[in-house]
Amino acid sequence: MLGSIVNGIILGSIITLGGLGISYILLIQNYFNFTGGTFFTLGAYLAFAFLSIIPMGSFPVVSFGPGLILALILSMIVLAIIMTAVDKFLYQPLRKRNSPFMFFYLTAFGMLFVLRSLIYLIWGPQLKNYISGVRKTYHLAGGINISPDEIFVVLATLIIVGIVYYFQYYTKLGKAMLATANDSRLAEISGIKNKHVHTTVTIIAGVLTATAGVFYGLAIQLRPIMGFTLLMAMFFAVVCGGDGAILGTLGAGLIIGITQEFGSEILQVIFDSTGIPIEMSGYKQVLAFLLLIVILTTKPHGIFQGTFLER
C-alpha cells in the first residue's frame, strides 16, 4: 500500500507539470487546451528522437546521462516553438475575431487528432524507453520500490514548481501575466502587451509540457497515448488546483496521482476478493473523473486558494 502511495507521488509530480502547462493556457487564454496531453506525448517522443543522435553518457546513481538532459532541453525548445506556431496560426486569429470559445475547443480537438496521427506515423504504436536494460531500484520497508530516476523526477518537479512559483509571483513578467489574466484591457493600457504575454505563456506551457512528457518517459515508458491517458488527471489538477495556481496545481496533482495509484490498488483488492474480474490498471482515469465530479459538486471553486491568493 505504501508503495502505491509513492507511485502516486511520482505520477502526481508528472501530472503537476503537465497540468501547469494546461493551467497557464487556461489562465491567460481562457480555454481548456485539450491538445495538452498530446503535446505532452510529443515532448517525450521529441526527446526520444534527439537521443538517437545524442550519446546518452552517464551520471552517477541514476540510469541516464547528460544526453537525456540535453535531449530534454532540445525537446523543450522544439515543443515551445511548435506550440507558439500553433498559437500564432490557429488561436491568434480566433482571438482577434473574438470567436466563441467553442471554436477554440474544436481547434484543440482537431490538433489533438492531427498530432496523435503524426506520432503514430513517425514512431509507431510500440512501447519505447529512453534507457534499455534493468534499472537500479531501492527496495525499502513497507513494500516501497523506488528507482533513483523516480526520485530525480520528484525532486526535479519540486524544484521546477519552486522556480515557476517565484517567476509568477515575484518577477515583473510573471505579475504582468497575472495582470493580463485579471483584466487584459487594463493590462494593455498599463503598457503590458497582451500579444507578448500570450507568447510567453505558450512558451512556458511548452517547456513544462515537454518536461512532464520526458519525466513520464523516464519514470514509466513512452507510448503514443501516454498523454491522453493522463489528460483527465491533468484536468483534475487544473480545475481543483485553481487555474494558474502553482501550489494548488501541485497539491491537486499529488492528490489525483495518489488517488489513482492507491485507489486502484484498494479497489483491485476488493474486486479480487469478491471475484469480480476487473483489471483496475485500465480504469485509473475513471477514478480521476469520479474524484473530479465529487470535488466539483462539493467545492466548485476548487480545493485550494486560487491563483491570486496563494502567494
Partner 1 sequence: MNKGEKILEVKDVTAGYGPVDVLFDASIEVNKGEFVVVIGPNGAGKTTLMRTIDGVLKPKKGKVMFNGENITGMDPSDILTKGISYVPQEGNIFTDMSVMDNLEMGAYTYEGDIQERLDMIFDLFPILKERLKQTSGNLSGGQRQMLAISRGIMIDPSLLILDEPTSGLQPNLVTDVLDSIVRLQEEEDMTILLVAQTEQAIPAADRGYLLRSGEIIFEAPTDTLLDNDQVMNLYFGG
Write the interaction track for partner 1 spanning residues 139-178; mark x where CB under 8 A is met and - where it is not.
Answer: ---------------------------------x--xx-x
Specify the stretch interacting with partner 1 by CB under 8 A; choose among 6-14, 99-107, 125-133, 186-194.
186-194
Residue with cell 520500490: 145
Give Cβ neighbours of residue 119 (< 8 Å, ≥ 6 apart). 38, 41, 42, 45, 224
Shortest reach from residue 294's CB to partner 1, in Å:
27
Specify the stretch interacting with partner 1 by CB under 8 A; choose among 74-82, 135-143, 180-188, 255-263.
180-188
Write the interaction track for partner 1 spanning residues 192-221; mark x where CB under 8 A is met and - where it is not.
Answer: xx----------------------------
Q: Which of 191, 275, 277, 300 binds partner 1 (CB under 8 A)?
A: 191
| Cell numbers at 208, concatenated | 513544462
Q: Which residues pair with 140 in a beta bridge?
A: 144
Q: Which of 187, 234, 256, 287 binds partner 1 (CB under 8 A)?
A: 187
Nearer to partner 1, 183 or 272 (CB): 183
Query: Is residue 188 a contact residue for partner 1 (CB under 8 A)?
Result: yes
Specify the stretch interacting with partner 1 by CB under 8 A; choose among 142-150, 212-220, 276-284, 301-309.
301-309
For 138, list phi and psi in degrees, rounded to 5: -90, 130
Q: Which of 85, 158, 186, 293 binds partner 1 (CB under 8 A)?
A: 186
Query: For residues 68 and 47, is the Cβ–Cβ distance under 8 A?
Result: yes
Query: For residues 198 and 87, is the Cβ–Cβ distance under 8 A?
Result: yes
Q: Where are the beta strands (DSSP E) in the chain?
A: 138-140, 144-146
Q: Which of 102, 134, 189, 276 binds partner 1 (CB under 8 A)?
A: 189
Shortest reach from residue 87's CB to partner 1, in Å:
19
Interatomic CA distance for residues 293 and 305, integer angstroms: 19
Nearer to partner 1, 193 or 301 (CB): 193
Give, in order, the Cα–Cα distances in Å from 256 to each of 185, 215, 251.
36, 17, 9
61: region left, alpha or beta (phi > 0 left; psi from -120 to 50 alpha): left
How many helices, marked H, and strands, marked E, lie in the chain? 13, 2
Query: Is residue 96 a contact residue for partner 1 (CB under 8 A)?
Result: no
CB atoms within 10 A of CB 62: 19
Query: Is residue 185 a contact residue for partner 1 (CB under 8 A)?
Result: yes
Residues at the contact surface with partner 1, assessed by CB under 8 A: 172, 175-176, 178-179, 182-183, 185-193, 307-309
